[in-house]
Structure 1
Amino acid sequence: MAKNDFYNSKFDKGTQSKLEVFKEYFKESFPVFLHSNIFDEVFIYDFFAGQGLNGQGEYGTAFNILNEIKPYCDDIKRSKKKVYIVLNDKKESGILKSNVLEFFNTCKTDCKGNCIFSENSNIIVKAEDFKTYFSSIYPRMLSRKKAAKLLYLDPFNFVINNDLFNKLINIPSADFICFMPSFFLRRFPLEPAFNRYIDTSKIDFEETKPAHCHRVIADYFKTLVPPDKEYFMGCFSIKKDSGYNGLLFGSNHTLGAEKFQKVCWKIDNVTGEADYNIDRELTYDKQGVLFEDVKIPWKIKQFYNDLESQIKDGKIKTDIDAYKFALKNRCLVKHAADKLKELMKNLKIEEFKTTNNDIHKIKSATVIKIK
């Protein structure tokens, strides 16, 4: 679909799913950044903001950010924390800027207080080439260690390669979500244009189902994280017409990973990975099943088996290890807690108190003792 048609048409289901993940993650993460004593500033980047909304009045990510931040204006004032919103689009910046100013003009008429945002001060609309702009601000991103950063990358084509990925995962206090047109890569793995971004020789699409193509690409990027670096990757697959695309997520903190998984599992309560039945589970869409064993999704059964095996082998030694193992396998902390409780009930490990969330608040890890 041409860009003009995209902005003039109603968003399709795939686009709606993508925007929902972007929006829900912002709703989960922004209050954390704002109320944290660790951060002095909050930077929100939408590098491919488009026009902000379409001709039908449906909000894109940029307008979802503006709309969702409105309830926190008083909190921002009280915190005296500076919040910057940077909206960039090389081709659509003129329309984007006009739409943003109209949004704020409408907002100000409904607001009795002084607006905390002002043009070119902390609400910034840019018309930059992404690569050039990102390279220019990257050193400042690295140096501002007490600034929380939320990076949205929603291009029409591929932008993330090994070099950009390496830069993203090394930005301190930063979470990113990037859209990827994964199905095109699966269809044309030898296309030189795609090989500039991904080493397709290290991805075997022939052995995987088309519906899993984004999961496979996400696993590829996961291998690029240095083994000595603790980093949390996530992904969410999106069905668009007859193809499959998706989102790639990254955070260097467990809370970011927890928030992303919470959003994904809210949308897909079977695998937490897609807006369609990615593993063809019988339990999808609340379908009735006759046998109890079938009620547990394959992904969860596999996770339970792997977790128990890693505990037996001594690779997972503490409760925190188990919870992080869940997050790195795109599961919820609760899934690890449920398995730990089962192992306690079956007298395989000694009892201790578990938690279902906020593992960063655990003051000291509990050693898992095998009976």
Structure 2
Amino acid sequence: MSVLHVAVVREDVPGGASPDALDTVRQARSVAQSLALCGWRASEHVFGRDPSVLEAELAQIRPDVVFNLVESWSGLASLACVAPALFRKAGLAFTGADEGSMALSGDKALARRLLHAAGLPVPSGATMEELRRGVFPGASTYIIKARFEDASLGLGPDCVVAARQPQELLDAMQGLASRMGGDCVAEGYVRGREFNVALLAEAGGGVCVLPVAEMVFDPGLTGPAILHYAAKWEQESADYAASVRSFDLAGEEDLASNMRRIALSCWDLFGLAGYARIDFRVGEDDGLPYVIDVNPNPCITPDAGFAAAALRANLDHAVVVRSIVLDALARAGRLETASHV
């Protein structure tokens, strides 16, 4: 039997790109290395501005499965869903979420509405359009985020604002929109702790909930305790050093269990696949978890949070990559094509 061929596809990353964009290149290389450790053949490809170029490449090599690492297209995260649509059109098995799941979770306003309608805990919120129509959740403190782009894009301490009137909040959003891809949402700011739950598909259609991680912020931190852009990506900054990941939830099993349950509900609600990460804030007043982001196909570089959670569960990077590939083949009804499994 021939060796399984996996095409690793990422977006085009120009020279001088931002740290988060450059991380995509590192991610592709690390996945290719882990595929080799699995005994499989890996080829690397770029999803550029002209989709027909990639289509032609894939048509020529006919890989057994595509490992989809495309996080944006033409500079827009909202168009990342084009990639799985292209793979589906080509009749190829692909890893992770499909185009529908990516589109639903990628619009933070729509995702919040879906979560609320499903009875899952989310902060209150509003779009700029809703505020213009007079829809206002009420006087409170809000955090303003990119609506269609990565949640950390343009996010900084100045994005946490107090607003007593709709126009006050709208003015703040309009002032921040340009650095957030042109549109943003306001979400009730949950003062408290931040957690994330990583999910990994298992054989037979199950989902493994990896150990719950907390982002612990330096108590001497000035400004709101949030994981903003600098805290995530600017390694030389004080903000980056002001938060550390912890898996120590001793004595908080009820809280961890609640977040695991909610995370699995998010997986089902958005039709996620392969792997995902659900982000939470836990209120300092009520101690309750609130979903703040649903992340299909999260970053899986070896130093990322997902890989750290997997290692905590004694799953190394190659095991994670293998599980994601086998899930893609199983969903496509092609598991028998895998060799060396």
Q: TM-score normalized by structure 1?
A: 0.31
Greater per-residue strand proportion: 2
Q: Name which one, 1 or 2, has greater alpha-carbon Rg.
A: 1
Larger relative contact order (Cα-Cα within 8 Å, sequence gap ≥ 6): 2
Give the structure-2-normalised TM-score: 0.32
Greater share of residues in helix = 1
